[in-house]
A and B are shown apart, each in its own frame.
Chain A
Amino acid sequence: MGGRLLASSQPEPSLSDIATSAAHGEDSPYFAGWRAYDEDSYDPVTNPSGVIQMGLAENQVSFDLLEAYLREHPEASDCGVGFRENALFQDYHGLKSFRMAMASFMETIRRGKARFDPDRIVLTAGATAANELLTFILANPGDALLVPTPYYPGFDRDLRWRTGVNIVPVHCVSDTGFQVTAGALQAAHDEAVVSGMRVRGVVLTNPSNPLGTTIERAVLEDIVDFVARNDIHLISDEIYSGSVFAAPDLVSVAELVESHARRGDGAAIAGRVHIVYSLSKDLGLPGFRVGVVYSYNDAVVATARRMSSFTLVSSQTQRTLAAMLSNAAFAAAYVGANRARLRERRDHMVAGLARAGLACLRGANAGLFVWVDMRPLLDEATVGGELRLWRQVVGEAKLNISPGSSCHCSEPGWFRVCFANMSLETLDVALQRLSCFTERWNKRIQN
């Protein structure tokens, strides 16, 4: 055949640096624990000695409420008159009815303490996409974002991988309940500058993952001041905002923007503040890929909208959820019931941990997990000691929990343990195993 090439001595075409780098972060223990679970998954009947997944921050406690709604309102998903229109709808503005429903839902979650304009809502396929998208918009490759530790391991990938942006950790310690301090922020900022990086913003998760706490109002005010003084941005990932089940209430950065505006100094703040949200945690719908970028900055909204072309939400999903969330009575009832169930689950977890001789972070009032203090069990107060303990918990107690080092915690010995992604029965099995484990472990240390 003409034109056939002789066996080429050319090397195969290479892939990009991004493709070959490890910045996707999947080599961390966070993911290694998942693999252990995948290979030997617990099942109460078929594999009762398998690994129980306690490393996945999913919300499975309120599905029945969603299912009941869909059963009673089949028109939310059926093939109706609007099918074609819906199938054709790929407008990156997103379905208006859905944006309105999301704005209203976000307001309900914040108990009406802040208002959301549907035209400032940009839809993305999940918060993963929203965080990456905001990073592309706010920072250039080589720039830095300051992120308080401990933080969600996925940020290493979401904020850095394809964007080329760096994360500089803001170290938080247990002495201050892991709250962000002005000093820590400044230290991180200085560190970035010394390394030749231009700081572009601070990324908060509020309520915090993995801590399960909301940020105190005074701290949030400090952070907002810091951001204004240094002429940088503030991204507030409020993906867990619907999971605040105990006092104090969530103080969303949205409230601060509004109060500053009322005081007359809104201009210094508004253009810097961007909120990320998603239905993955509060509605327990990670599979449906619904994320939001909400920005008070017009240029950011316009750019984010265009960029969302790469990560649009399925119009089928927008339509179904618009129907559900536009039902104000349902939305309010859901938020209330979900909160109550999470609280119950958390209390159950805390009691079980106490029986195992373990304490959690005090004041934890939100999230789908607890931040457990296992420092007393460490053979030495190092990351090595933490990982040794972790491997034992996974291997011996067969519980996949997440070591604090994978969340970049600067104090070894803390672990994130999820409680909302399993049945109550399974949670009890897990707590029982944990009790046995700590008992054996302590005996070993004594001997």
Chain B
Amino acid sequence: MVSMVADEKAQPQLLSKKAACNSHGQDSSYFLGWEEYEKNPYDPVANPRGIIQMGLAENQLSFDLLEKWLEANPDALGLRRGGASVFRELALFQDYHGMPAFKNALARFMSEQRGFRVTFDPSNIVLTAGATSANEALVFCLADHGDAFLIPTPYYPGFDRDLKWRTGAEIVPVHCTSANGFRVTRAALDDAYRRAQKRRLRVKGVLITNPSNPLGTTSPRADLELLLDFVAAKGIHLVSDEIYSGTAFAEPGFVSVLEVLAARGNTSDGLSESVHVVYSLSKDLGLPGFRVGAIYSSNPAVVSAATKMSSFGLVSSQTQHLLASLLDDKDFTRRYIAENTRRIRERREQLAEGLRAIGIECLESNAGLFCWVRMRSLMRSQSFEGEMELWKKVVFEVGLNISPGSSCHCREPGWFRVCFANMSTKTLDVALQRLADFAEANGKGAHPTRRGLAGGPARTMSCPAGRFSWANRLTPGSADRKAER
């Protein structure tokens, strides 16, 4: 093939400012850690010294449940309905209103995740190719170039790209600290608003993630009330990214802002048209590859504009067909929701207890696919430099790709997000062992073999099968797959 490499000097083809800028955030440590992992990924057999990926918030715990259902319902994948081929219908279906059967099933599923305390009107759902697409589309609908969204820190690093890159919108962080468990406060919101004004930015809304990434906590009802009061007072929007709504595994449970809104009753203040929810099946069902996201809004103008925009990121009809079938099976969704959250809780406990055993604390959390871990005791200096130094050691020496809090815009150094649901329980133990060795070598933390790692009675290292037997009962098929991420 003829070489297409063009001489740089002869390449005057300037690209746009968007192409040249760094708003896509790809150079942040969040992505750099991934790159290191890609170069040297852990494999229990082929590469046992490789880097264990703990920076990817994926849910790999419940595939077996999906696979069992798929085998029992071959029409879903086979592009059939009642045994008859619907290939033609699906092939042609590109209506940006989305497949009614899928939206109906999704609406019911979303309601079920909220204990049926909220009902979703399918006609207010806009389907998009993932939450990434949903969040961007919402910003395009709500904000002009240069307008700002207030976002409580720490927040998902991808927001810097998703919300700002092509939209030209700005993010102004709302500073939260460990003093009150990183909860948002009115003072913090007001402070952020003032900072926005000082920068001459017009604030169009507040965006929260509930349950929170990276904290793994659900927003207390009081905090949601506070947020609603704030956006009402300022006449701005509230976007609630509820992508982790299906991962809440313990009390106080997940309360959606829509529930709180409904309870307020007063519909004359227009607040119901200012609150928009984003959802996706990437975390709950563990299907990030299928690109299924949704915007939910009671604002007809938002639904209308977002629907048209979804042309730029529609969900494959082949995938809508599969999921319409899956989510329509009420027995399945009920069992799945219960079992999936149970497994998440168990896995989270394994991580949290393992960390505790080495003297490392996590933020008390009741949701998410990760723990928010305080590692200042391992840092040489209580600063962001110290955090980066520790992070590099953990990635390159200990071989764990975890996410430093600074990449999540956390104001306090020393916090890291550590994922637990994207690997087998065995691998998690390996990761904990490595961390324990590191902690010991650094003179901090208790010796692991004295306390035991998995939260049970103290066990020695010489009986690995015995130690892991309780964990092996979980997800038998998910252990140590070659493509484990």
Which of A128-136, A166-174, A400-408 makes up part of the contact surface? A128-136
A residues 141-177 with Cβ under 8 Å of B? 141, 143, 157-158, 162, 164
Can you offer 30 A-B residue contacts whose CB atoms are under 8 A? A7-B266, A8-B233, A12-B270, A12-B273, A18-B305, A19-B141, A60-B88, A63-B87, A66-B87, A67-B87, A70-B79, A70-B87, A79-B74, A84-B63, A137-B16, A143-B16, A162-B140, A162-B312, A257-B4, A258-B2, A261-B2, A261-B4, A270-B6, A286-B91, A298-B5, A310-B136, A311-B129, A313-B316, A314-B315, A316-B289
A19-B305, A117-B4, A289-B314 given. 8 additional CB < 8 A pairs? A20-B301, A60-B88, A63-B91, A83-B66, A90-B282, A162-B166, A289-B315, A314-B291
A300 to B16, CA, bound (A): 10
Instruction: Check if A240 is an interface residue, CB within 8 A of chain B.
Output: no
Instruction: Check if A33 is an interface residue, CB within 8 A of chain B.
Output: no
**A88 close to B313 (CB less than 8 A):** no
Contacting residues, chain A, for B268 (C-beta < 8 A)? 7
Instruction: Check if A425 is an interface residue, CB within 8 A of chain B.
Output: no
A292 to B437, CA, bound (A): 48
Instruction: Check if A58 is an interface residue, CB within 8 A of chain B.
Output: yes
Determine the residue in chain B with the shortest Cβ distance to A26.
Answer: B308
Q: How far is the CB of B393 from chain A (nearest CB, A)?
A: 28
Query: Known contacts A19-B142, A90-B289; is A7 also within 8 Å of B77 by CB?
Result: no
Q: CB-CB contacts of B226-254 with A at 8 A, as 1s and 0s?
A: 10010111111100000000000000000
Q: How far is the CB of A84 from chain B (nearest CB, A)?
A: 5
Looking at A13, A307, A312, the one whose CB has the most chain B CB atoms below 10 A away is A13
Chain A residues within CB distance 8 Å of chain B: 1, 3-5, 7-8, 10-13, 15-20, 24, 26, 58, 60, 63, 66-67, 70-71, 74, 77-79, 83-90, 115, 117, 120, 125-126, 128-129, 132, 136-141, 143, 157-158, 162, 164, 200, 231-233, 257-258, 261-262, 266-268, 270-272, 280, 284-289, 296-300, 303, 306-307, 309-317, 320
Across the A-B interface, the 6 shortest Cβ-Cβ residue pairs: A315-B289, A287-B317, A314-B316, A10-B235, A19-B305, A79-B70
A291 to B273, CA, bound (A): 34
Looking at B19, B162, B316, the one whose CB has the most chain A CB atoms below 10 A away is B316
**A66 close to B290 (CB less than 8 A):** no
Instruction: Check if B185 is an interface residue, CB within 8 A of chain A.
Output: no
**A297 close to B129 (CB less than 8 A):** no
A89 to B484, CA, bound (A): 11
Which of B7-15, B118-126, B190-198, B369-377 makes up part of the contact surface? B7-15
Contacting residues, chain A, for B232 (C-beta < 8 A)? 5, 8, 10
Instruction: Check if B331 is an interface residue, CB within 8 A of chain A.
Output: no
Query: Known contacts A284-B91, A287-B316; is A4 also within 8 Å of B229 by CB?
Result: yes
**B314 close to A84 (CB less than 8 A):** no
**A300 close to B19 (CB less than 8 A):** yes
Q: How far is the CB of A140 from chain B (nearest CB, A)?
A: 5
A258 to B66, CA, bound (A): 47
Instruction: Check if B130 is an interface residue, CB within 8 A of chain A.
Output: yes
B residues 111-152 with Cβ under 8 Å of A? 129-130, 132-133, 136, 140-145, 147
Looking at B13, B15, B226, the one whose CB has the most chain A CB atoms below 10 A away is B13
Looking at A77, A200, A296, A313, the one whose CB has the most chain B CB atoms below 10 A away is A77
**B11 close to A271 (CB less than 8 A):** yes
A266 to B6, CA, bound (A): 7
Contacting residues, chain A, for B11 (C-beta < 8 A)? 267, 271, 297
A262 to B70, CA, bound (A): 52
**A125 close to B4 (CB less than 8 A):** no
A138 to B18, CA, bound (A): 9
Query: Known contacts A136-B16, A289-B94; is A89 also within 8 Å of B77 by CB?
Result: no
Q: CB-CB contacts of B74-112 with A at 8 A, as 1s and 0s?
A: 100111000001011011111000000000000000000
The count of chain B contact residues (Cβ–Cβ below 8 Å) is 98
Determine the residue in chain B with the shortest Cβ distance to A269.
Answer: B6
Q: CB-CB contacts of B5-37 with A at 8 A, as 1s and 0s?
A: 111001111011111000010100000000000
Q: How far is the CB of A254 from chain B (nearest CB, A)?
A: 10
**A83 close to B70 (CB less than 8 A):** yes
A314 to B315, CA, bound (A): 7
Query: Known contacts A4-B229, A270-B6; is A299 also within 8 Å of B15 by CB?
Result: yes
Instruction: Check if B483 is an interface residue, CB within 8 A of chain A.
Output: yes
Contacting residues, chain B, for A58 (C-beta < 8 A)? 92
B residues 45-80 with Cβ under 8 Å of A? 58, 60, 63, 66-67, 70-71, 74, 77-79
Query: Known contacts A125-B313, A309-B161, A310-B166; is A12 also within 8 Å of B235 by CB?
Result: yes
**B291 close to A4 (CB less than 8 A):** no
Contacting residues, chain B, for A26 (C-beta < 8 A)? 308
**B16 close to A115 (CB less than 8 A):** no
B residues 169-184 with Cβ under 8 Å of A? none
Pick the contact of A314: B88, B93, B161, B290 (CB < 8 A).
B290
Looking at B6, B10, B74, B319, the one whose CB has the most chain A CB atoms below 10 A away is B6
**B63 close to A140 (CB less than 8 A):** no
Query: Known contacts A13-B274, A88-B58; is A310 also within 8 Å of B18 by CB?
Result: no
Contacting residues, chain A, for B309 (C-beta < 8 A)? 162
Q: How far is the CB of B81 from chain A (nearest CB, A)?
A: 14
**A19 close to B302 (CB less than 8 A):** yes
Q: How far is the CB of B478 from chain A (nearest CB, A)?
A: 8
Q: How far is the CB of A345 from chain B (nearest CB, A)?
A: 17
Determine the residue in chain A with the shortest Cβ distance to B17.
Answer: A140
Q: How far is the CB of B357 from chain A (nearest CB, A)?
A: 30
A257 to B312, CA, bound (A): 29
**B319 close to A314 (CB less than 8 A):** yes
**A314 close to B16 (CB less than 8 A):** no
Q: How far is the CB of B185 from chain A (nearest CB, A)?
A: 13
A286 to B92, CA, bound (A): 6
Contacting residues, chain B, for A89 (C-beta < 8 A)? 289
B residues 328-347 with Cβ under 8 Å of A? none
Determine the residue in chain B with the shortest Cβ distance to A283.
Answer: B91
Contacting residues, chain B, for A90 (C-beta < 8 A)? 130, 282, 288-289, 291
Instruction: Check if B1 is an interface residue, CB within 8 A of chain A.
Output: yes
Instruction: Check if B481 is an interface residue, CB within 8 A of chain A.
Output: yes
**A289 close to B316 (CB less than 8 A):** yes
**B317 close to A310 (CB less than 8 A):** no
A194 to B129, CA, bound (A): 40
Instruction: Check if B205 is an interface residue, CB within 8 A of chain A.
Output: yes
**A310 close to B322 (CB less than 8 A):** no
Determine the residue in chain A with the shortest Cβ distance to B310.
Answer: A125
Looking at B5, B144, B225, B291, the one whose CB has the most chain A CB atoms below 10 A away is B291
Q: CB-CB contacts of B465-476 with A at 8 A, as 1s and 0s?
A: 000000000000
A175 to B140, CA, bound (A): 43
Contacting residues, chain B, for A132 (C-beta < 8 A)? 312
A447 to B78, CA, bound (A): 60
A379 to B269, CA, bound (A): 54
**A136 close to B129 (CB less than 8 A):** no
A58 to B6, CA, bound (A): 37
Instruction: Check if B318 is an interface residue, CB within 8 A of chain A.
Output: yes
Pick the contact of B13: A63, A271, A314 (CB < 8 A).
A271
A78 to B13, CA, bound (A): 45
Instruction: Check if B413 is an interface residue, CB within 8 A of chain A.
Output: no
A141 to B166, CA, bound (A): 11
Instruction: Check if B311 is an interface residue, CB within 8 A of chain A.
Output: yes
Query: Known contacts A125-B312, A125-B314, A231-B13; is A87 also within 8 Å of B269 by CB?
Result: no
